[in-house]
Amino acid sequence: MAKKYFGTDGIRGKVGEGLMTPDQVLKLGWAVGKALANHGHKLVVIGKDTRISGYMFESALEAGLSAAGVDVRLLGPMPTPGIAYLTRTMHASAGVVISASHNPYYDNGLKFFSSEGSKLPDDLEYLIEEMFEAPMTIVESYELGKARRIDDAQGRYVEACKATIPLSTNFKGMNIVLDCAHGATYNIAPKVLTELGAHIVVEGAEPDGININAYRGSTHPEHLQHVVRHQGADLGIAFDGDGDRVLMVDSEGEIIDGDEILYIIAKARLHAGNDIKGVVGTLMSNMGLELAIREMGLEFERAKVGDRYVLELLKEKDWKLGGESSGHIICLDRTTTGDGIVSALQVLAYLAETGKTLQEAKAGMKKMPMHIINVPLNGCSAPLESDQVKVAVQKAKQQLNGRGRVLLRPSGTEPLIRVMVEGEEEGMVLSLTQSIADAVAAA
């Protein structure tokens, strides 16, 4: 049964519209509190990114949870994975993140973590939706939840990040540019890297409530590319607004995306002698990653697009490493959710251990040319079932001859069909993508 309010990554929207209003968020806080109370749990931690509406929604959530009789611990600005970590280590019943991730400041959202620091189970999300539509009642005054701010939350998470790499690791001699997207990592990532010995230049670390993700961070890596080249740095690291994604830039200013980061971490695990059986990517992961992973003697599986599905497949396969091209990397042997800082540290530790440059570390993976065309739906209810589309896809697959992929999928947010082709020859990829897109448009 489809959920009414929860998406694949919580609830998100424009501030002042839909569920993103103070009264609705207060009611959601109450619904979460009632759902948890029904399970005998009564402590929730709340963290947020740096967008201006976070103050308003933090207060609304706090009020709603208190009205349901649930105690609250306020963490302040924290990366999403840091909130997941503290939810678990503080033995909280759940964690709530006030963030719209890589979206602009005028959007916001709510993400939820279970007591284990992972996504909420479906049955609890259904219960929260059920409570949200029930009349709101307030517990007796003596039962109201109490709120307290956790002053050392950032320090706890800094130490947790450092603990994901060997104690002997030192980044002395590394010149690194950090781009924190004016987001939740602005005060934490610089501390982590500095304490590990790196020399850093920090960009995007002056949040004002409305500049989060604005021309900075992993969604706008061009600024980082320029600064790395200008500074003559060894590499650059860019996070998104809530710190669960990371991209890197090598000394030449070339972007190292999530596929390449995933490849380097897999190689690092093998180098360290870790027991690693396979890696999970998504339908959009470059085929070059799949081939490189298999050449290392590991298995490779693809999940649907979305970190929730990557995590589900990792647990199903009992594997520890997976991620998306966007830079959402999950290292289950280190943490419970996608973590930009932790993922970057795994790469840096491998470079420090081997003496390799970022260019040398990624050299074993050759990305295949990939092209995507978004085709608007023209009234046809099922263009992918069209005979002419099927013929165009079959011809493309024959030409690729097993050394490429064809993927057609409906957009989850727009009336579009996304046509993707990848292969070894860029000219062929462009031609095949266009021919399939023309067939979809004519269907």
Q: How far apart are CA 326 and CA 179, in angstroms?
A: 16
Q: Based on the number of CB atoms within 10 Å of its own CB, is 318 exposed (0-12), middle (13-18) or buried (19 or more)?
A: exposed
Rounded-to-integer distance, Cα 287 and Cα 414, Å: 26
Residues contacting residue 231 through CB under 8 Å, at least 6 positions apart? 175, 177, 201
Domain with CATH 3.40.120.10 in the chain: 11-151, 157-361
DSSP for 361-405, please give it.
HTTT--PPPEEEEEEE--S-S-GGG-HHHHHHHHHHHHHHTTSSE
101 labelled catalytic: yes
Edge-to-edge strand ranges of the sheet holding 416-422 = 370-376, 416-422, 405-410
What is the Rg, in whole angstroms, of the alpha carbon atoms belonging to the chain? Answer: 23
Supply the pLDDT for residue 380.
Answer: 66
**What is the CATH superfamily name and number for domain 157-361?**
Alpha-D-Glucose-1,6-Bisphosphate, subunit A, domain 3 (3.40.120.10)
Q: Residues 6 or more apart from 295 whose CB is under 8 A from it? A: 364
Phi, psi of 91 (to 5 degrees): 55, 40
Q: How confident is the model at residue 40, as a pLDDT?
A: 67
Sheet holding 321-323, edge to edge: 299-303, 278-282, 321-323, 329-331
Alpha helices in 6-147 (DSSP H): 22-38, 54-67, 80-89, 122-132
Q: Which amino acid is at 226?
A: H
**Per annotation, catalytic residue among 66, 101, 115, 285:** 101
Query: What is the Cα–Cα distance from 98 to 101, expressed in whole angstroms?
Result: 9
Classified by CATH at the fold level, domain 370-442 comes out as: TATA-Binding Protein (3.30.310)
Distance CA 239, CA 236 (A): 10
Outline which parts of the chain fall under CATH 3.30.310.50: 370-442
The values of phi and psi at residue 225, to 5°, are: -55, -45
Residue bearing tokens 């503290």? 86
Print pLDDT tens along the chain (443 aa).
678 888 877 899 999 999 999 999 999 999 999 998 876 678 999 999 999 999 999 999 999 999 999 999 999 999 999 999 999 999 999 999 999 999 999 999 999 999 999 888 888 999 999 999 999 999 999 999 999 999 999 999 999 999 999 999 999 999 999 999 999 999 999 999 999 999 999 999 999 999 999 999 999 999 999 999 999 999 999 999 999 999 999 999 999 999 999 999 999 999 999 989 999 999 999 999 999 999 999 999 999 988 889 999 999 999 999 999 999 999 999 999 999 999 999 999 999 999 999 999 999 999 999 999 999 887 666 788 889 999 999 999 999 998 899 999 887 667 889 999 999 999 999 999 999 999 999 88
Q: Do 352 and 174 form a contact (C-beta atoms < 8 A)?
A: yes
Secondary structure letter of residue 149 according to DSSP: E
The CATH class that applies to domain 11-151 reads alpha beta
Token pair listed for 415: 């009336």
* Separation in Å, CA 264 to CA 166, 292, 329, 345: 17, 10, 12, 11
Checking 309-316 for CB contacts under 8 A at 24+ apart, the result is: 309/8, 309/282, 310/280, 310/281, 310/282, 311/118, 311/119, 311/337, 313/280, 314/280
Q: Helices marked H in 232-275 — which ranges?
A: 258-271
CB 358 within 8 A of CB 346: no
Burial label for 29, CB within 10 Å (0-12, 13-18, 19+), is buried
Can you say how many angstroms the Cα of residue 422 is from the centroid of all Cα atoms in its chain? 24
